[in-house]
Amino acid sequence: MFDSLSERLNSVFKKLKGHGRLDEQNIQAGMREVRLALLEADVNYKVVKDFTQRVKERALGQEVLKSLTPGQQVVKIVKEELEELLGGEQQGLDLKAKPPVVIMMVGLQGSGKTTSAGKLALHLKGLKYSPYLVPADVYRPAAIDQLHKLAGDLNMPAYPSTSSDNPVDICMRALEEARQKAYTAVIFDTAGRLHIDETLMQELVSIKEKCSPHEILFVADAMTGQDAVTVAQRFNDLLDITGVVLTKMEGDARGGAALSIKSITNKPIKFVGTGEKLTDLEVFHPDRVASRILGMGDVLTLIEKAQEDMDQDEARAMQEKFQKSKFDLDDFRKQMGRLKKMGSIEGLLKMIPGMGKMRDKLKNVQMPEKEMGKMDAMINSMTRQERSNPKIFNASRKQRVARGSGTTVQDVNQLLTNFDQMQKMMKKMVGKDGQPQLDMNSQ
């Protein structure tokens, strides 16, 4: 996600930070490079023009020229403006209405609509809703089966549409049924075409008129870049969409669609899809994404991911431990187990401040079963005191643990080093107020 843009911007900032003081000339030169970086990221040219203009005006203002750390100030301005570009304040689903909340998914074929409908159902279930999935794409033969299969995987009900039904009738009847059965969320998976066509659009307009959905989410494939933006604009003109789901973000190194869609349609990105699995959906937080683009990491999303399968009390206790640096080897073992479940280490590193650059070295590294087993055995062989205060480890303690766990002193040393690094990182990641530190790269 945003890899190339991130690299380009960071090299511009490195140059800017290299100057003791900034003058108009080096700010102008820096902005030219920012402009090129955004254009290369396939951001809409008009959006780029406005963006660089705004950043330039602010950067040439007194706050930067007078500052003792002018490079840092420019980075701060770019971060704030990037946040704006990505949508400003985070905007979630509109869930204020009396249930059932009605969500209509629209978009072109292959954009990831059906998959996103399933992901969203799972997300809503996590928010204690009981979702009803409604297949309303009667044209693509496999679409109804696909949604029924997803519903089966999720153990959720789906409306029994058939390909001979009329899509508008399907939605109306399904909504009626949802009310009767007290489902609290209804998700319409509507038909997509390869291109926008009038009949399809009219059908969507009729569903909107008859069912008054609270959310109309336009689903777009991020990899299609500016095409996604143009299509979003057409759907928005006709349907007045309420938000966007950008899919396949994990494969989009450039990020042009994400960076243009809000400015062009004035509608927020609410979610991003980051893989084919039903759990691969992230709530879109413009501030956190801006942070990730600038290589500052996204600690909050990381912590949230790690907490997904903890209960509330456990999550709170872990957060407190992070903050008070009371993180011990038992916690370390728990976290490593979770990281392993969360998938590739590469993806996780992107979220940790300053770790983006280590990524290439660790590409596709998975936590091997064998290593996890060894770690378990070593921690099991430690005394309670050793686990909570590994500083007391001397040579004889290490030998005892190695013997007890069938490993070597080298293995024990490696575990203690890894633990030490993670502990340091935790301290750095979470500031005193529990908020992530801003510019870790500059330290």
Q: Which residues bind ligand GDP (CB under 6 A)?
A: 107, 109-115, 192, 247-248, 250-251, 273-276, 280
- Taking the complex as a whole, the smallest distance from the CB of residue 141 to ligand GDP amounts, in Å, to 12
Region of 354 on the Ramachandran plot (φ > 0 left; ψ -120 to 50 alpha; else beta):
left
262 labeled binding residue: no
The residue sitting closest to ligand GDP, measured at its beta carbon, is 273
The answer to whether the beta carbons of residues 355 and 298 sit under 8 Å apart is no
Residue 405, annotated as binding a ligand: no
256: annotated binding-site residue? no
Q: To the nearest whole angstrom, how small is the minimum distance from the Cβ of residue 166 to ligand GDP?
A: 19
Closest-CA residue to 5 (of 238, 258, 293): 293
CB burial of residue 361 (10 Å; 0-12, 13-18, 19+) = exposed
Q: Residue 143 Cβ, how far from ligand GDP at the closest point, in Å? A: 6
Q: How many CB atoms lie within 10 A of CB 98?
A: 7
Shortest spacing between CB 305 and ligand GDP, in angstroms: 16
Total residues found in the chain within this entry: 443
Strands of the sheet with 131-136, listed across from one edge: 131-136, 185-190, 101-106, 215-221, 243-247, 269-273, 281-283
Decide whether 280 or 386 has the Cβ nearer to ligand GDP.
Answer: 280
Q: Which is nearer to ligand GDP, 150 or 440 (CB)?
A: 150
Closer to ligand GDP by CB, 250 or 328: give it: 250
Annotated ligand binding at 190? The verdict is: yes
Q: Is the CB of 105 or the CB of 296 nearer to ligand GDP?
A: 105
Helix-strand-coil percent breakdown of the chain, rounded to 5? 60, 10, 30
| Complete DSSP assignment for 123-179 | HHHHTT--EEEEEE--SSTTHHHHHHHHHHHHT--B----TTS-HHHHHHHHHHHHH
- The response to whether 111 counts as a known ligand-binding position is yes
**109 marked as part of a ligand binding site:** yes
- To the question of whether residue 189 is assigned a binding role by annotation, the answer is yes
CA–CA separation, 104 and 118 (whole Å): 12
Nearer to ligand GDP, 273 or 297 (CB): 273
For residue 54, the minimal CB distance to ligand GDP (Å) is 31
What is the rounded CA–CA span in Å between residue 144 and residue 221?
21
Beta carbon of residue 268, minimum distance to ligand GDP (angstroms, whole number): 18
> Is 191 a known ligand-binding residue?
yes
* Nearest residue (CB) to ligand GDP, 219 versus 379: 219
- Positions at the binding site: 107-114, 189-193
- Positions at the binding site for GTP: 107-114, 189-193
